[in-house]
Amino acid sequence: MAAPLTTDPRTVEILGAERFRLITALYFTQYLGVGFLTIGLIWPLKVLWAPLVGLGVVRLRA
Protein backbone atom coordinates (compact mmCIF):
# COMPACT_ATOMS: atom_id res chain seq x y z
CA MET A 1 0.00 0.00 0.00
CA ALA A 2 1.53 3.28 -1.08
CA ALA A 3 1.56 6.21 1.31
CA PRO A 4 -0.25 9.33 0.17
CA LEU A 5 1.99 12.03 -1.19
CA THR A 6 2.23 14.85 1.29
CA THR A 7 4.63 17.55 2.32
CA ASP A 8 3.30 17.85 5.87
CA PRO A 9 6.09 16.61 8.18
CA ARG A 10 3.61 15.60 10.88
CA THR A 11 1.74 13.30 8.49
CA VAL A 12 4.99 11.71 7.37
CA GLU A 13 5.97 11.22 11.02
CA ILE A 14 2.64 9.56 11.85
CA LEU A 15 2.89 7.23 8.86
CA GLY A 16 6.41 6.25 9.89
CA ALA A 17 5.25 5.49 13.43
CA GLU A 18 2.37 3.36 12.14
CA ARG A 19 4.71 1.37 9.92
CA PHE A 20 7.11 0.86 12.84
CA ARG A 21 4.26 -0.48 15.00
CA LEU A 22 3.20 -2.88 12.27
CA ILE A 23 6.72 -4.17 11.67
CA THR A 24 7.29 -4.56 15.42
CA ALA A 25 4.07 -6.56 15.80
CA LEU A 26 4.96 -8.80 12.86
CA TYR A 27 8.48 -9.34 14.18
CA PHE A 28 7.19 -10.26 17.65
CA THR A 29 4.53 -12.66 16.35
CA GLN A 30 7.15 -14.33 14.16
CA TYR A 31 9.11 -15.26 17.29
CA LEU A 32 5.96 -16.48 19.02
CA GLY A 33 5.14 -18.66 16.02
CA VAL A 34 8.63 -20.13 15.89
CA GLY A 35 8.45 -20.87 19.61
CA PHE A 36 5.13 -22.68 19.32
CA LEU A 37 6.34 -24.67 16.32
CA THR A 38 9.53 -25.64 18.11
CA ILE A 39 7.68 -26.84 21.19
CA GLY A 40 5.09 -28.59 19.05
CA LEU A 41 7.72 -30.45 17.05
CA ILE A 42 10.22 -31.28 19.80
CA TRP A 43 7.99 -32.49 22.65
CA PRO A 44 6.24 -35.27 20.67
CA LEU A 45 9.70 -36.63 19.85
CA LYS A 46 10.72 -36.64 23.51
CA VAL A 47 10.32 -40.43 23.66
CA LEU A 48 13.18 -40.64 21.17
CA TRP A 49 15.67 -38.20 22.70
CA ALA A 50 14.90 -38.41 26.43
CA PRO A 51 16.55 -41.83 26.92
CA LEU A 52 19.70 -40.53 25.24
CA VAL A 53 19.80 -37.53 27.57
CA GLY A 54 19.24 -39.86 30.53
CA LEU A 55 22.19 -42.03 29.49
CA GLY A 56 24.42 -38.97 29.31
CA VAL A 57 23.42 -37.88 32.81
CA VAL A 58 24.13 -41.35 34.22
CA ARG A 59 27.58 -41.37 32.63
CA LEU A 60 28.40 -37.92 34.03
CA ARG A 61 27.44 -38.95 37.57
CA ALA A 62 29.45 -42.19 37.45
pLDDT per residue as tens digits for the range 4-41: 566 666 776 777 778 888 888 888 999 888 888 888 88
Return the higher-pLDDT residue of 56 and 52.
Answer: 52
Residue 1: inside a domain, yes or no?
no
- Does the pLDDT at position 3 exceed 60? no
> In whole angstroms, what is the distance from residue 20 CA to residue 24 CA?
6
Q: What is the pLDDT of residue 48?
A: 85
- The total number of structural domains in the chain stands at 1
Q: What is the pLDDT of residue 29?
A: 92
Residue 4: inside a domain, yes or no?
no
Residue 38: inside a domain, yes or no?
yes
Q: What is the pLDDT of residue 35?
A: 87
Q: Using an 8 Å Cβ cutoff, are 56 and 62 in contact? A: no
- Does the pLDDT at position 56 exceed 80? no
CA dihedral sign of residues 27, 32, 35, 40: negative
Q: Which domain holds residue 20?
A: 11-61
